[in-house]
Amino acid sequence: MIRRAAYREAQAFFSAVQFLTRLPTPAWTGWEAGRLDRATPHFALVGGLIGAACGAVHLVASALLVPPLAAILAIGTGIVLTGALHEDGLADFADGLGARDSGRALAIMKDSHVGAFGVVALVLVLGAKVAALSAMPPALAAAALVAAHGLSRAWLYPTVKALDYARDPADAKVAPISRAVHRGEWLRTILFAALTLAPPLALSRAADPHRLAALALALAVILSALTAALLARTMRRRLGGWTGDTLGAQQQLTETAFLIGASAWIST
């Protein structure tokens, strides 16, 4: 029984990897649309791994380049690993919000073309990330990337459980996610999110005996949580629920909010 449970968890983890990244996965994991439901709690863990890769690039690049270029390379690493999945969602969501009604907004978001609102949103978000990372010491910036990527994907779980799917379920592969909430899923989501917060917390406590840096980390978590809640409210009111694009936008904006909050470390 334990072996079977471990096998199911491994399948769920690799399903999350398949959905969120362009990374190869073992052939034995396969893919089933319904498995995405069990994979959702693993989003935070996969995000933390993406953040770890970005952080490693940032550390190496910081030793050779000026901070803005190191930040750009770190952000670019995440984009390559995910195939710009979330950035594309952000651009589509921004374009859709310019529509007057939900039907028109959903149609615009489904269009592959990027409009002015989408371009502006991408420029502002990417610019904010570069500025925040450039302001932090390299080690703390690398650790913050782990937490920002992990926590921003952890917020997706409560969003898909709290809101309806806004489109016809037959139109997209992300639709088969049940709104049923299981205690085990919540516990895994919280555990994986906590694991991604461990590196910046450990570094902040080691670097700052007065623990002001830990307060900056708390601010980062709060800003990320408030951003997630605000976006979930916007999804419900403007679209009637979530779509793949809105989840991508939520990931990008909550990640950015976390990094902005974490950049308060520069005042310690």
Residue 110 located in a structural domain: no
Q: What pLDDT sits at residue 252?
A: 98
How many domains does the chain divide into?
1
pTM for the full predicted model: 0.92
Q: What pLDDT sits at residue 100?
A: 79
The DSSP secondary structure of the chain, one letter per residue, reads -HHHHHHHHHHHHHHHHHHH------GGG---GGGHHHHGGGHHHHHHHHHHHHHHHHHHHHTTS-HHHHHHHHHHHHHHHHTTHHHHHHHHHHHHTTSSSHHHHHHHHHSSS--HHHHHHHHHHHHHHHHHHHHS-HHHHHHHHHHHHHHHHHTHHHHHHHS-B-S-GGG-TT--------HHHHHHHHHHHHHHHHHHHHHHHHH-TT-HHHHHHHHHHHHHHHHHHHHHHHIIIIISSB-HHHHHHHHHHHHHHHHHHHGGGGG-
% of the chain residues with pLDDT over 90: 59
Per-residue tens of pLDDT for the chain, all 268 residues: 667 778 788 888 998 999 899 999 888 777 665 677 788 999 999 999 999 999 999 999 999 999 999 999 999 999 999 999 999 999 999 999 888 788 898 888 888 788 899 999 999 999 999 999 999 989 989 999 999 999 999 999 999 999 999 887 666 555 557 766 777 888 999 999 999 999 887 876 665 555 666 777 889 999 999 999 999 999 999 999 999 999 999 999 999 999 999 988 655 4
Residue 100 located in a structural domain: no
Q: What pLDDT sits at residue 268?
A: 47
Residue 146's nearest CA partner among 232, 215, 47 is 47
Residue 203 located in a structural domain: yes
- Structural domain for 7, as ranges: 2-86+126-267
Residue 93 located in a structural domain: no
Residues 6+ apart with CB under 8 A from 178: 37
> Mind listing the pLDDT tens digit for each residue in 99-152?
878 889 888 888 878 889 999 999 999 999 999 999 998 998 999 999 999 999
Residue 65 located in a structural domain: yes
Residue 109 located in a structural domain: no
Locate tokens 């969602």: which residue? 89
Residues 6+ apart with CB under 8 A from 230: none
Residue 102 located in a structural domain: no
Residue spans of beta strands (DSSP E) within 11-103: none
Q: What pLDDT sits at residue 94?
A: 94
Residue 262 located in a structural domain: yes
